[in-house]
Structures are given as C-alpha cells and as structure tokens.
Amino acid sequence: MILPKKWYFLILIILILISGIFPFYLLQGRQVKAETDIDLNDQPFFDLQLVQGDSLLPNITPPALRVETVNSFKVIVTAYSSSVWETQGDPFITASGERVRDGIVANNLLAFGTKIRLPEIFDDKIFEVTDRMHARKSSYHVDIWFPSRESALEFGAKLTEMEILETD
C-alpha cells in the first residue's frame, strides 16, 4: 500500500517522538542505587552536595564581598535542573563553560559573571549569571539552577524584584 508523502512525514515524526520519550518513560519512578561503604555524613564529604540522586558536586561558599546595588527591576523567576531535556549539550556544563553549582542563574540580558540578588525570595543570597536561556524567553526572565528536577518544579514561577550588583 502506498501512502501520501505527508503520511510518511507524520509517521517519522511520531517515531522520533516515541524514541526520545520511551527511555525516560521506562526509567521514570525507578531509582538505581549503588551499594557503597561511603557514609555521606563523614567529615571528608561535608562540603559536597548530592545532585540528581547519584552525583556529587562541591558546595563552594564564596568569600564575603562588599556589594552595592546598581539597578533593580521586576523579573519572572523560574527554575531548571541538570536534566537532558532541559539543557543543550552536557547538562552539568553552563553556557559559560562552568560546571553547575548552587547560586548560578541563566539570563539572556546580563553578561556572564554578573552578580544578582533576589531579596524578596532569597534574602541576601547572591547569584551569578553563568548560563543562557532559550531565545524565546524574555530578557526579564531569570532561571535558577536547582540540584534536582523535583526541587525545580516545586519552586515554580514567581514575579519578583531583581537587584544587579557591583562587587569587589
């Protein structure tokens, strides 16, 4: 039986979608646990954070800085995690080439390395712009990195004041 060309195209699209979603569907809700003798509460591991349930990243606290607010305006704040379907390329490397860590954000308006604060949500916590968002996102949209998809979804979306900082 010969089908019209548009049907072949539709079947191809469906197969591509199924092949991309099916492996995630099989793994959804399953946790793979490795047996290990390492206790994460031991002293050598106090400065590591567990990411995505099976990866450890250093939890680096920057030294205290003098900060001054240069500008502030309202932005939409959302969250993302290191999931393959939320990123381009390596999900643990940002657009600036840095590894993901607590305190990084994605934004299309500000230069890499710009320090910001979201005081209505995070008090005095300082974030650094090290990643970019899809071009369809507004310049007045900030995406905060979270170590797990669940915590990113729990954060949701918020409208808040963003302060651009000058540090030394």
Domain boundaries, the chain: 62-167
Q: What is the mean pLDDT of residues 121-136?
A: 89
- Residue 43's pLDDT band (boundaries 50, 70, 90)? very low
CA atoms within 13 A on the CB side of 148: 11
Q: Which residues contact 93 (CB under 8 A, 6 or more apart)?
A: 99, 100
Q: What is the pLDDT of residue 32?
A: 46
Q: What is the mean pLDDT of residues 51-68?
A: 66
Q: What is the pLDDT of residue 61?
A: 62
If residue 71 lies in a helix (H) or strand (E), which one and from where to where?
strand 67-80
Question: What CATH number does the domain located at 62-167 have?
Answer: 2.40.40.10
Q: Look up residue 165 and give its two tokens.
A: 């900082």
The residue ranking higher by pLDDT, 164 or 37, is 164
Q: What is the pLDDT of residue 45?
A: 46
Dihedral pair phi/psi, residue 111, rounded to 5°? -70, 155
CA atoms within 13 A on the CB side of 103: 19
